Amino acid sequence: MVYATPTGKKYHSHPHNDGDYSETTLDDALARGLEPCKNVINNNKAYRRLI
Ligand SMILES: [Zn+2]
């Protein structure tokens, strides 16, 4: 699962600051055009290997 806010442009691996986070699936986040927060990249070794 990932976390996103209604107005945010990114998704997050954890709710890590103030905001109206809601849990969603990665597929849903990507379907909404959201990009990974730095926090997600830091926590996703598979992704880090790609960059
Ligand atoms: Zn974040």
Per-residue confidence (pLDDT) for residue 31, from 0 to 100: 96
Per-residue confidence (pLDDT) for residue 49, from 0 to 100: 53
Tens digits of per-residue pLDDT, 1-51?
899 998 899 999 888 877 899 999 999 999 999 999 987 766 666 555 544
Query: CB under 8 Å to 10, separation ≥6 — which residues?
Result: 4, 34, 35, 36, 37, 40
Distances (CA, A) of 3 to 31, 49, 51: 14, 22, 22
Q: What three-state secondary structure class fits 12?
A: strand
Question: How many whole angstroms from 23 Cα to the centroid of ligand 1?
Answer: 13
Question: How many whole angstroms from 48 Cα to the centroid of ligand 1?
Answer: 16
CA 51 to CA 31: how far, in whole Å?
21
Question: How many whole angstroms from 8 Cα to the centroid of ligand 1?
Answer: 10
